[in-house]
Structure 1
Amino acid sequence: MTTAIRSEFDQGIALTPHPDEPGRYDGELGAGWQIGGGVNGGLLLAVAGHALSLAHTARPESAGHTDPVSISGYYLSAATPGPVTVRTDVVRTGRKLSTGTAALSQDGVERLRVLATHGDLAAHDGEVRTTAAPPQLPPPDQCVGVEHAPKELIAQAALLERFDMRLDPASIGWALGQPSGSGRIQGWFRLADGREPDPLLLLLVADALPPVTFDLGMPGWAPTVELTVHLRAKPAPGWLRVVHATRNLAGGYFEEDAEVWDETGRLVAQSRQLARVPR
């Protein structure tokens, strides 16, 4: 008998219910999800979203509400590899949606506070009215993969080795010392181990590309203050198209808007985060 090998992402967000404290879930943050000195903010949001999915599943009245529909996280301190605890509280249960909070902490220090509404994305109305369009990208094999990233960048961002990310050649002038100044980075995304996308993975993808400040000629990692993700549909298997952009940098902070499109050309997630300008 063989044992199925779980994706590194599934291992990264794995949680165990605490036997003596309802609503508490314990896990382990892996070193493979670091960026700079801390664990990637999108991965942390996925851990908290997973905890709330488990909390809703444990309640008969919200058992079908396993998909995050809207989730906002405030980053209070940098998370590091090691044990992690998520305490959840379901504050409202409805017929289609349920809302809860989650506090992610390490050694008693809170790292992330989340407010999220969960539901069943498969049950959403299929009507689509939008003027949004997916980014026009060269095929993945004509884009620039992680294997071409500078060694010093990989050394600071272990999580890039978990990704099969192909950036649009038109948006990587910053890697050659020639940032465009437009504040836009886009490309193709999937996990390196082949795991197909689902709603929890979209929370990671919303924070997966390099900071758009790279394209403004401002290298260095940009700590996230707040990140909100809206999920519009369950993604189809295959590649995701991702675009990150900013329109305003002021007072030492900038916003970063993201759109995630699936293999069928459907917009499956949108996000906005507020981050600090790199030092």
Structure 2
Amino acid sequence: MSEAASLPAVQARIGDSEFDRDTAVTRRETGVYDIDLSAGWTIISAVNGGYLLAVLGRALADALPHADPFTISAHYLTASHPGPAVVRTDVVRSGRTLSTGTASLFQYDDAGREVERIRVLASYGDLDALPDDVRTTAVPPVIPPMDQCFGPEDGPAPVPGGSAITDRLMLKLDPATLGWALGAPSGKGEMRSWFGLADGRDADPLSLLLAVDALPPTAFELGLSGWVPTVELTVHVRSRPAPGPLRVSITTRNLAGGFLEEDAEVWDSADRLVAQSRQLARARLA
């Protein structure tokens, strides 16, 4: 079976898909946007950090004179939950090739007061204006064909810690990184997978912000279980992805003091490195 044959039969379009609808923000006034965070992107009861970053990324794309995220760094202050939220943006600098802004997402406590969930600093530009010159030692991850990989639907039970978000993703995990699912984690701190959206929508720069944070945690292959909340996540978008499935590779080299890093690479169907990220996450050791 080819990779194309493994993709969803229904092909949603960029701009008209569940991901687009669920990350859409409504401008209330200059720099202020409203959104109802969807329960469809939750892990247990918390909203996925990559989905949240895409929400903030979409607000900044509207607020800034450039549309494409080049680099975006987020600090996750408190867990976000489905329901109403407000995004407040500020334009720090507008340049010819890059513009920089900040954004924060707020929700409301029981007394109706705003509580800041995430704070972001980002620089945006035009990916289509970048030169074609590439000089790299990076190579795409080696992942078996999709029909030799496994998704959440292939397991006898739900993925530990998984929930609604898995229904919105096309994940086909490399069997070499699935020891944790069989009770025999490798200890290598690696996770590799084919990645797409379940409705077949092709990737774009905003969905790359989701892709870097959508796989099971590398902590599972280190022998840990449970939620691994993100403390900080920085994403570099390097190119507009070609149509077709993505390949995502994530590694952890160091778990110490209850925290670990995850370094992610995202490759498109044209064998181009289209996004990179590093995040610091908290690991539950007990």
TM-score using structure 1 length: 0.93
In the alignment, structure 1 residue 258 sits paired with structure 2 residue 268 = no
The verdict on how the C-alpha distance between 1:132 and 1:85 changes in structure 2, with shifts beyond 3 A counting, is same
1:100 corresponds in structure 2 to: 101
Q: Distance in 1 between matches of 2:216 and 2:270?
A: 24
Matches within 5 A, 1:51-200: 51-56=59-64, 62=65, 65-107=66-108, 108-149=114-155, 151-153=157-159, 156-200=162-206
1:59 corresponds in structure 2 to: none
SS of 1:221's equivalent in the other structure is coil
1:69-105 deviations in Å (ceiling 9; x for gaps): 0000000110000011100000100000000000101
Report the residue type matching 2:264 in the other structure: A
Q: Is the 8 A contact 2:152 2:159 kept in 1?
A: no
SS of 1:122's equivalent in the other structure is helix
Gaps of 5+ in 2: 1-12, 109-113
Q: Distance in 2 between matches of 1:79 and 1:51?
A: 17
Q: Is the 8 A contact 1:154 1:160 kept in 2?
A: no
**CA RMSD between the two structures:** 1.4
Q: Is the 8 A contact 1:146 1:164 kept in 2?
A: no
Structure 1 residue runs of 4 or more that deviate by more than 6 Å after TM superposition? none
Q: Distance in 2 between matches of 1:235 and 1:88?
A: 26
In the alignment, structure 1 residue 45 sits paired with structure 2 residue 53 = yes
CA displacement at 1:154 relative to structure 2: 6.9
Q: Distance in 2 between matches of 1:254 and 1:154?
A: 19
SS of 2:159's equivalent in the other structure is helix
CA displacement at 1:269 relative to structure 2: 0.2
Matches within 5 A, 1:207-222: 207-222=213-228
Compare relative contact order (CA 8 Å, sep 6+) and give the higher one, 1 or 2.
2
The verdict on how the C-alpha distance between 1:171 and 1:156 changes in structure 2, with shifts beyond 3 A counting, is closer
Report the residue type matching 1:8 in the other structure: E
Out of 43-52 and 153-162, give the one that drifted further: 153-162
1:27 corresponds in structure 2 to: 35
Report the residue type matching 2:122 in the other structure: A
Q: Is the 8 A contact 1:230 1:271 kept in 2?
A: yes
1:111-157 deviations in Å (ceiling 9; x for gaps): 10000000011111111111000111111111112212453437742
Report the residue type matching 2:120 in the other structure: V
Gaps of 5+ in 1: 57-61
Report the residue type matching 1:211 in the other structure: P
Q: Distance in 2 between matches of 1:8 and 1:115?
A: 26
Report the residue type matching 1:31 in the other structure: A
CA displacement at 1:217 relative to structure 2: 0.6
1:156-184 deviations in Å (ceiling 9; x for gaps): 42101101100001110110001000000
Q: Distance in 1 between matches of 2:204 and 2:161?
A: 28
Q: Is the 8 A contact 1:48 1:102 kept in 2?
A: yes
Report the residue type matching 1:44 in the other structure: L
SS of 2:176's equivalent in the other structure is helix
Q: Distance in 1 between matches of 2:172 and 2:158?
A: 18
Q: Distance in 1 between matches of 2:214 and 2:283?
A: 17
2:5 corresponds in structure 1 to: none
1:227 corresponds in structure 2 to: 233
TM-score using structure 2 length: 0.91
Question: How many residues get paired?
Answer: 267
Out of 140-149 and 23-32, give the one that drifted further: 140-149
The verdict on how the C-alpha distance between 1:260 and 1:29 changes in structure 2, with shifts beyond 3 A counting, is same
